[in-house]
Amino acid sequence: MIMEKRVYIETYGCQMNEHDTERILRLLEVSHYLETKNAKEADFILINTCSVREKPEHKVYSALGRYKWLKERRGAIIGVAGCVAQQEGGKLLDRIPYLDMVIGTHAIPMIPQLLQRIEISGERVCETSFDQDGKYLEAILPQNSPVVGSIRLDKVKSYVTIMQGCDHFCSFCIVPYVRGREKSRSSQEIIEEVRHLAEMGVKEIFLLGQNVNSYGKGLGEEISFSELLGYLDQIEGIERIRFTTSHPKDLSEELIQAFSKLPKLCEHIHLPFQSGSDRILKTMHRGYTKESYLKKIGHLKEVCPSIALTADVIVGFPGEGEEDFKETIDLMEKVQFDDLFSFKYSPRKGTRAAQFMDKVEEKVKQDRLSILQEIQRGITLRKNQELEGCIEEVLVEGQSKQSAQDVAGRTRSNKIVNFQGDLNLVGKLVPVQITKAYQHSLRGEMIPTHCRLENTPAYQ
């Protein structure tokens, strides 16, 4: 009889990391490791880490400290994966004597084999080499699946990695160092994976990459990101397509037009601007100006008036003065983002900006962040309130966190809607009238079937 063991994974950081965790769980299923949500009963504890900013990096060390006793008491195997593992490599083993495994960002497929080595010989392992063949990008199948290539987050929506790594080298960013150079997966592989997901009942796919709009670079085939979207749009069973992240510099006219041409492409784009000051954008090495960013946003709004816009912004980058910060606020006010992810600049060892001299004081960074977030809260609430009374297409994802009588789903613009309904609705597209807008979600009422307009196939 095969002994089943338990794996507990703690995930930090972006969607790419969440997706990597899913892939690791699939891989480990084959080695008879089943997921547990309770670290205390795990035979293998893995921390999947993020090093984009200092805060998530620090969390890794405190998480490791929390699990030390499980190593001592139960002999659990403890590992670190992701960006911190890639960045620190063998130094982590030196620093943390009870750590067994360090797994870099390209080494995920090797985890079962390394785990077996630890189980047999008790040796401590570190694998952080970059894989040039792109094997680390291959889809990892759910066990016993008859079709090649797929991961499933849940039945309704699924992430699909289309490329990894980045060639941009923005001066503040660690990603090119820890995820490696840009590498795209072949369109054939991606299409097969998405077809398989559709067969499994997935309705929404979320395409992932550090810079999806340079998809195709270095592939043996002539294909742009927009062309890939065009192929995916034709796959039966898939109702919605989303993607992240796009770089403003590479946002092509073809991609902007895709928002009006492809029916399944949701009306939402996440387009990080980082700063509104041309001087700062230049030292960040972003490759666009405030004006050219605003021009692209204007064009997106012309082509797709209902498009929802979100972005990332950094405050307190070295050299950022009051005037620069005002430019950032001005850009935000001009665009009116639906939501913003805002960060204080955090120096990352090995990046160019970490060497810049004119650092901004911590208190100034914090004050600027608070001002910016306060303004954005007002804009977000107002944008949500604009939807009151409107009927939105909602893809139902599961039970609402707020009440057992409610279900929750998302609009095409990616806003969460809670409404009364039962779990039979999960996976369905339903029309919901928005009755109340809040800061982070919307409340609504489903339009009963007999009141729906004919000829709206999505709702039938």
The binding site for ligand SF4 (CB under 6 A) comprises: 166, 168-170, 173, 175-176, 210-211, 247
The residue written with tokens 């699946």 in the block is: 145
Q: Is residue 346 part of the contact set for ligand SAM (CB under 6 A)?
A: yes
DSSP 106-170: T-GGGHHHHHHHHHHH---EEE-PPPTT-GGGS--PPTT-SSSS---SSSSEEEEE-EE--S---
What is the sign of the dihedral through the CA atoms of 436, 264, 226 and 261? negative
Q: Decide if 206 contacts 218 (C-beta within 8 A).
A: no
Residue 26's binding partner among ligand SAM, ligand SF4, none (Cβ under 5 to 8 angstroms by kind) is none
Residue number with CB closer to ligand SAM (328 or 384): 328
Question: Binding segment for ligand SAM among 113-121, 169-177, 252-260, 410-418 (CB under 6 A)?
Answer: 169-177
Residue 14's binding partner among ligand SF4, ligand SAM, none (Cβ under 5 to 8 angstroms by kind) is ligand SAM
Provide the token pair at 10. Answer: 């703690």
Residue 176's binding partner among ligand SAM, ligand SF4, none (Cβ under 5 to 8 angstroms by kind) is ligand SF4
Shortest gap between Cβ of 17 and ligand SAM (angstroms)? 10
Smallest Cα–Cα separation from 225: which of 189, 195, 184, 266?
Answer: 184
Instruction: Please pick, from the candidates 26, 247, 410, 412, the single residue that binds ligand SAM as defined by CB under 6 A.
Output: 247
Instruction: Please pick, from the candidates 183, 264, 268, 348, the single residue that binds ligand SAM as defined by CB under 6 A.
Output: 348
Shortest gap between Cβ of 287 and ligand SAM (angstroms)? 10
Q: Decide if 9 contacts 24 (C-beta within 8 A).
A: yes
Residue 169's binding partner among ligand SF4, ligand SAM, none (Cβ under 5 to 8 angstroms by kind) is ligand SF4
Question: Binding segment for ligand SAM among 103-111, 170-178, 224-232, 424-432 (CB under 6 A)?
Answer: 170-178
3-state helix, strand, coil in the chain (%, to 5): 40, 20, 40
Provide the token pair at 28. Answer: 């480990």
Q: Is residue 183 part of the contact set for ligand SAM (CB under 6 A)?
A: no
Q: For the chain, how far is it from start to end, CA to CA, in angstroms?
A: 48
Q: Are strands 416-420 and 339-344 parallel, antiparallel or unpaired?
A: unpaired
Q: Is residue 52 part of the contact set for ligand SAM (CB under 6 A)?
A: yes
Shortest gap between Cβ of 314 and ligand SAM (angstroms)? 5
Sequence-separated (6 or more) residues with CB below 8 Å from residue 52: 13, 14, 83, 173, 174, 175, 346, 348
Residue number with CB closer to ligand SAM (44 or 215): 215
C-alpha–C-alpha distance, residues 275 and 15, integer Å: 23
Residue number with CB closer to ligand SF4 (126 or 251): 251
Instruction: Please pick, from the candidates 98, 177, 343, 459, the single residue that binds ligand SAM as defined by CB under 6 A.
Output: 343
Sequence-separated (6 or more) residues with CB below 8 Å from residue 342: 312, 313, 314, 315, 369, 372, 373, 376
Shortest gap between Cβ of 120 and ligand SF4 (angstroms)? 38
Residue number with CB closer to ligand SAM (21 or 210): 210
Residue number with CB closer to ligand SAM (278 or 312): 312
C-alpha–C-alpha distance, residues 282 and 288, integer Å: 8
Q: Is residue 365 part of the contact set for ligand SAM (CB under 6 A)?
A: no
Q: Is residue 23 part of the contact set for ligand SAM (CB under 6 A)?
A: no
Q: Is residue 242 part of the contact set for ligand SAM (CB under 6 A)?
A: no
Residue 52's binding partner among ligand SAM, ligand SF4, none (Cβ under 5 to 8 angstroms by kind) is ligand SAM
Please, what's the largest Cα pairwise distance for the chain?
69
C-alpha–C-alpha distance, residues 368 and 375, integer Å: 11
Question: Binding segment for ligand SAM among 56-64, 168-176, 356-364, 375-383 (CB under 6 A)?
Answer: 168-176
The residue written with tokens 């890639």 in the block is: 86
Residue number with CB closer to ligand SAM (14 or 430): 14
* Phi, psi (rounded to 5 degrees) for 111: -55, -50
Residue number with CB closer to ligand SF4 (125 or 175): 175
Beta bridge partners of 444: 419, 434
Instruction: Please pick, from the candidates 9, 14, 258, 281, the single residue that binds ligand SAM as defined by CB under 6 A.
Output: 14
Question: Binding segment for ligand SAM among 101-109, 340-348, 439-447, 448-456 (CB under 6 A)?
Answer: 340-348
Give residues in contact with ligand SAM (CB under 6 A): 14, 52-53, 172-173, 175, 210-211, 245, 247, 272, 274, 312, 314, 343, 345-346, 348
